[in-house]
Amino acid sequence: MANKKRYTTAFGIPVDNDQNSKSAGKRGPLLMQDVHLLEKLGHFDRERIPERVVHAKGAGAHGYFEVTGDVSKYTKADFLSKVGKQTEVFARFSTVGGEKGSADAARDPRGFALKFYTEEGNYDMTGNNTPVFFIRDPLKFPDFIHTQKRHPATNCKDADMFWDFLSLTPESVHQVTILFSDRGTPATFRNMNGYSSHTFVWYNDKGEHFYVQYHFKTDQGIKNLDRHQATKMAGEDPDHATRDLYQAIERGEQPSWTLEVQILSPEQAENFGWDIYDITKVWPHSEVPPMEVGKLVLNKNPENYFAEVEQAAFSPGNLVPGITISNDKMLQSRVFSYHDTHIHRLGPNYHLIPVNRPKNSPENSYQRDAFMRTDGNFGGTPNYWPNSFDDTETDPSTAEPVQDLVGQTGRHTIDFPNDDFVQPGNLYRKVMSEQDRENLVGNIADHLSHAQKRIQMRQTALFYKADQDYGTRVAKALGLDVGEVEKLAGMSEEDRVSATAKGTYGS
């Protein structure tokens, strides 16, 4: 026993035997007084915590962020305040729709979540590997996610529900085009970019504010799987991207990304051709050239997956002075939803879990008690503020700039500019190579062919509206009548929907 550790129960009591349960006689039933067995089974029964409803499958690593470009005139964020400044970071990459055991090679956006442990508290950036999103109003989010998950009756993924919703949601066509390009199946987490997708607001010491979008460009180069490689990979190694990240860091490689930002002044934003709060649009590089800000480097694997990756909790509402949210409706709803999800999944004290703790700016709040308060709960110090005992003060200098708001309350549509087809069309025509276009059309046809014909028609009309050649090629790949697709594409939204309603096209 000299150099060995003593096996104990969770309460530190020595365990006499861990191979044989206590029974009444050699062949008799088990005994209630086998506390070790009861404790062991009881804990095992509760090992799983609720899975994230989205982004369930993921991998993470520790690292740092270093400032390489001076942006201090745009933001007073301390961690961005001077070239050379380094901040500890934890990153988590994920797929979105699949369950915790699903394949890393699935066609899906990839989450790109970062936690910066700044000296002004934790700053979280919860981005994706795509610069846009499927919808721009959060009321549609639960419905959208349901359609990407399992059918309520069959419990199988279902092409009808997947494409029915998207084809009834024309603003999705930009993101659908990116998702069904080979960027929808990145080769690894290291070979993809990360984008804030949302517009954020930066503000400086003078109270001036600016609109910002983040682009984390992979230094490993973009590499994707084509659909045949992705299908093979999903079967052969469903954890390939998780394994790749871990092994690369174990080998001593330090995957990195260069952060570039696009910045608009309020005046520029006012006269901009796109709604800066519409997450289905990008800011064209030619109009808003990206500028380099820093480098994200990952150099340390988690020691324990559950502790550090599964329990990592990010929220776009975790902002530091100098950075705040914009009026992007999707972003505003995520500020609620992420925190709410973590309270459900990890409990109200999830900020005490080491990976989530603000380790470079210790908590000094007046929140107390609740499930799993695992520290000293601030001992006997006051649990209210203001108080005349503990000398804590608030800091008005960290307040964000005030905003003038006008307008009538109501369920408003985002309708400026009312064209969801220009940017996906530009992507197809100007950015993609002929090989990219061929793969895009093949990837779409491979999936959309499983939906009912009326849904195929409705969706292909959206591709046609983005670009005639795009719609024509998808129609041909699906064996649809191109003339009919063209006719649908020329209709109003209402007519297109009724021309493809239930019962049409033999459904």
96, 178, 234, 475: residue in contact with ligand NDP (rule CB under 6 A): 178
- Our finding on whether 215 is near ligand NDP (CB under 6 A) is yes
Between the CA atoms of 290, 293, 298 and 302, what dihedral angle is there, to the nearest 10 degrees? -100
The minimum distance between CB 290 and ligand NDP, in angstroms, equals 7
E strand or H helix at 240: helix 240-250
Cα dist from 306 to 198, 313, 346, 349, 353, whole Å? 29, 12, 12, 17, 11
The minimum distance between CB 417 and ligand NDP, in angstroms, equals 14
Considering the candidates 62, 122, 128, 349, report the single residue annotated as catalytic. Answer: 128
- Our finding on whether 131 is near ligand NDP (CB under 6 A) is yes
Considering the candidates 55, 62, 174, 209, report the single residue annotated as catalytic. Answer: 55
Whether 151 sits among the annotated catalytic residues: the reply is no
What is the distance between the alpha carbons of residues 45 and 210, in angstroms, rounded to a whole number? 50
DSSP secondary-structure letter at 107? S
The minimum distance between CB 328 and ligand NDP, in angstroms, equals 15
Burial class of residue 28, CB neighbours in 10 A (0-12, 13-18, 19+): exposed
Interaction residues for ligand NDP, span 279-308 (CB under 6 A): 282-286
Whether 55 sits among the annotated catalytic residues: the reply is yes
For ligand NDP, give the closer residue by CB, 288 or 353.
288
Residue type, 466: A
Q: Which residue in 360, 291, 313 sits closest to 79, CA to CA?
A: 360
Residue position matching structure tokens 């550790």: 5
122, 181, 456, 460: residue in contact with ligand NDP (rule CB under 6 A): 181
- Our finding on whether 347 is near ligand NDP (CB under 6 A) is no
Could you tell me which stretch among 96-104, 109-117, 175-183, 493-501 binds ligand NDP (CB under 6 A)? 175-183
Peptide bond into 417 cis (omega under 30): yes
What is the distance between the alpha carbons of residues 461 and 458, in angstroms, rounded to a whole number? 5
175, 193, 196, 318: residue in contact with ligand NDP (rule CB under 6 A): 193
Secondary structure of the chain: what % helix, strand, coil (to 5)?
A: 35, 15, 50
- Our finding on whether 427 is near ligand NDP (CB under 6 A) is yes
The minimum distance between CB 182 and ligand NDP, in angstroms, equals 7
52, 76, 115, 183: residue in contact with ligand NDP (rule CB under 6 A): 183
The minimum distance between CB 316 and ligand NDP, in angstroms, equals 19
Residue position matching structure tokens 């975790």: 318
27, 431, 434, 494: residue in contact with ligand NDP (rule CB under 6 A): 431
**Residues with active-site annotation:** 55, 128
Residues that bind ligand NDP (CB under 6 A): 131, 178, 181, 183, 193, 215, 217, 282-286, 423, 426-427, 431-432, 436
